[in-house]
């Protein structure tokens, strides 16, 4: 059976390990998220999204979907593609992460 002293040592060790994990996360996670956001909101990402939407619409038309229905479906598709961006802006996640990452770099 483990004594009180040994239990305290394990609790301290566990707390130190958790602190190390959080330190690693606070160091690496903002940069990872910033990279993801940059890839989603870069000029290249916007160009790729435009191409994807145009390709989607063209495929619908070539597949025989009537113009009005193809336009509705394309708008819905674009909405799906942009929903994450709207969520991030609304939640201000992107700006907070960018700000923290920039502050760390300074």
Structure tokens at 21: 């994990």
Pure H helices in the chain: 4-41, 43-62, 67-91, 93-105
Nearest to 40 by CA among 98, 103, 104: 98
Total of domains in the chain: 1
- What is the DSSP-derived secondary structure letter of residue 42? S
Question: Each residue of 14-57: pLDDT tens digit?
Answer: 888 988 998 888 888 888 877 777 777 788 888 988 999 999 99
Question: Each residue of 47-104: pLDDT tens digit?
Answer: 988 999 999 999 999 999 999 999 999 999 998 888 876 676 665 555 555 566 566 5
Rounded to two decimals, what is the model's pTM?
0.51
Domain that holds residue 52: 4-105
């Amino acid at each position: 059976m483990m004594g009180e002293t040994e239990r305290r040592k394990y609790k301290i060790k566990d707390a130190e390990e958790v602190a190390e994990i959080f330190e690693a996360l606070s160091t690496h996670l903002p940069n990872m998220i910033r990279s993801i956001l940059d890839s989603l909101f870069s000029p290249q990402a916007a160009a790729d999204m435009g191409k994807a939407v145009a390709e989607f619409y063209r495929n619908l038309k070539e597949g025989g979907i009537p113009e009005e229905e193809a336009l509705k479906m394309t708008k819905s598709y674009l909405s799906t593609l942009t929903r994450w961006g709207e969520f991030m802006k609304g939640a201000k996640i992107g700006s907070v992460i960018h700000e923290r990452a920039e502050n760390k770099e300074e």
